A and B are shown apart, each in its own frame.
Chain A
Amino acid sequence: MNHSQKLTSAILAITAQLLSGATVRWRGSEPDSCQRVYFANHTSHLDALVLWSGLPRQLRAITRPVAAADYWGAGRVRRYVAGCFNALLIDRHDISVRNSPLDIMLREIGNTFSLIVFPEGSRSPTGELQTFKSGLYYLAKKRPDLELMPVYLDNLNRILPRGEVLPVPLLSCITIGAPIWLHQGEGKDEFLERARQSVLQLKEEQ
């Protein structure tokens, strides 16, 4: 990251905080620089940016939101912005064995970076939490040391709903829960459902 990107990155974080009016609540966890995977519900294009800017500055530098290449990679401005918030662009359409998103993620995070993922795969059309895709399970299986942090993003679908370009600055809330891990011998569907429930629980708690 060069100087101009660092500056843009700081401006981006402040803009996202102002625009989303986000309150960040840590429930059963604290900010920490250990390697983590934040997994959240997905309702808006702003999700990745807002969750990333809700983290403390030191953590922002080592946290990479996984974002869709077809949106964030389209056009120079979006690509530049994506670079500023450390986005890890994944092509959702060109997925093959050689080009597996999981391998890219594992390679990119190394032993320092944390990830922000949206296991629903795409933005929910209704705002309800959809079933999780299996990526989170394989991530947990290959790297059992990662702390999996459930996150519930509230109201962002009203700030920038699907199909809209201009945001309306309402207030939103980011709730980050206690970490979960893959249990010994836990099946894929069982684990994904438990992960989904942990996000839903944060929704009900607030």
Chain B
Amino acid sequence: MVPLSMTLIDTDVANAVKNLLAIDGLTIGLLLIVIALLSSVSFWMNWLKRRYHDSVDPAMIRVFNRRIVAWLTIYVLLGLTVFLGPPTTLCFFLGVSFWALREFVTMTPTRRADHRTLFWVFFVFVPLQYVLAAYSGDRRWFIAFAVLIPVYGSLFISARIAFAGEAQRFLERTAKIQFGLLICIYALSHAPALLYLDLIYYDAASGEYRPWDQMKSRLLFFLVLMVQLSDLLQFFWDRLYGRNLIAAPIHATKSWEGLVGAALCCGAAALILQWLTRITPFTTYGAAIMGMVISLMAISGTMTMSAIKRDRGVSEYGTLVQGHAGVLDRIDAICFAAPIFYHLTRFFLGAAVAD
């Protein structure tokens, strides 16, 4: 009996491992490489801090370390949710969205009369948008997913605030809630919606479009990797070559050199990655352009959220309520990049293109 059960367990474990690898060996491999790279950079930074603690700016190391830890967390969580299937990824992003919106509304002053509107926003529009994201692969439901917040949400919010009966600063209050919903929920929901896309790719050998039957998690991984690479590259470009600031009152370090440099490097990185691994359904040059677009959107996101923070007089959303990690600080770039990446991908390579 004992040997039998032993073999049972053995085969079970072996099968489980095989199943896991069958999910997508490439994504998992790349994910592990990225996690290993990030960890080694983190170790190296800490070593640098200890070794040359008098000549290296400790504030810079601290900022850098915090980012690395945030990225590691995101990759590990992404990896886990990739194993457990798209609904898990959706739930993970729903949680992030919900928390980001909490931070946003907490920081933005609203009035007593907005209370019930906010209740609708938190408990109806947030879950509904993510439910629709799960059905966004279906062509009819895709429309609902695409317009729920920009059309229904925006109109509902303004009407509900009007019904509450307070006219003071009406447009300002409406805009604040609409903006929070648009950025924290609508924009971010496009990241997990990538998992539900039905795509084709251009097969150069036969010269025609074919269905792309790889794991969609590759697209999500590509998006997150490019956003964070862009973040990292800007960090170095700004510090090494940053001469002309884009807008000093908005962001103290973001420069034009960083913007162009990071976009070009991101494009090159995407090109090499695509050429080596064929991770996305794009052509090699298509991937390069996507890399650049993602990088530009990431900078736009960081600048926009920075403008809001400056206006409110806080340096980070995290400092607003001390002890919180500041989710919004970490996802501002991806919020801007996700919907553009999603729609460009769908426009050029959505299954409907082949019809």
Contacts and interface: CB of A to CB of B under 8 A. Distances in A.
A161 B298 CA distance: 37
Interface in B107-148: 110, 112, 115-116, 118-119, 122
Interface stretch (B167-175, B285-293, B320-328): B320-328
Contact of B106 (A155, A167, A206): A155
The majority secondary structure among interface residues of chain A is loop
Nearest to A170: B106
A172 interface: yes
B103 interface: yes
Given A21-B102, A155-B106, A158-B110, A171 B324 contact: yes
The majority secondary structure among interface residues of chain B is helix
B129 to A, nearest CB: 17
Contact of A170 (B102, B116, B322): B102
B105 interface: yes
Contact of A171 (B102, B110, B115, B116): B102
A168 B321 contact: no
14 contacts: A21-B102, A21-B324, A23-B322, A155-B321, A158-B110, A158-B115, A161-B112, A161-B115, A164-B116, A170-B105, A170-B106, A172-B321, A173-B321, A173-B322
Given A169-B102, A171-B102, A21 B321 contact: yes
Contacts of B122: 168-169
Nearest to A175: B322
Contacts of A206: 322
A23 B323 contact: yes
Interface string A121-139: 0000000000000000000
A74 interface: no
Contacts of A173: 321-322
For the side of the interface on B, what is the size category? 10 to 19
A79 B147 CA distance: 45
Interface string A10-36: 000000000001010100000000000
B115 A168 contact: yes
Residue of A21, A164, A167, A170 with most partner-chain B CB within 10 A = A170
Interface in B82-112: 102-103, 105-106, 110, 112
A173 B115 CA distance: 19
Minimum-distance CB pairs A-B, first 7 = A23-B323, A171-B106, A168-B118, A171-B321, A170-B106, A166-B119, A23-B321
A93 B193 CA distance: 56
For the side of the interface on A, what is the size category? 10 to 19
A167 B103 CA distance: 16
Contacts of A170: 102, 105-106
A125 B320 CA distance: 24
Contacts of A169: 102, 122
Interface in B290-328: 320-324
Nearest to A158: B110
B106 A164 contact: no
B79 to A, nearest CB: 26
A155 B105 CA distance: 11
Contacts of A167: 119
Interface in A164-206: 164, 166-173, 206
A110 B110 CA distance: 43
B145 to A, nearest CB: 24
A158 B324 CA distance: 19
A21 B322 CA distance: 11
B320 to A, nearest CB: 8
Contacts of B110: 158
Interface string A79-112: 0000000000000000000000000000000000
Contact of B115 (A21, A23, A155, A164): A164
A158 B114 CA distance: 10
A164 B115 CA distance: 8
A155 B106 CA distance: 8
Contacts of B116: 164, 166
B157 to A, nearest CB: 14
Contacts of B320: 171
Contacts of B102: 21, 169-171
A173 B102 CA distance: 13
Interface in A5-63: 21, 23, 25
B161 to A, nearest CB: 14
Given A166-B116, A171-B320, 12 more contacts: A21-B106, A23-B324, A155-B106, A158-B115, A161-B112, A161-B115, A169-B102, A170-B106, A171-B106, A171-B324, A172-B321, A206-B322
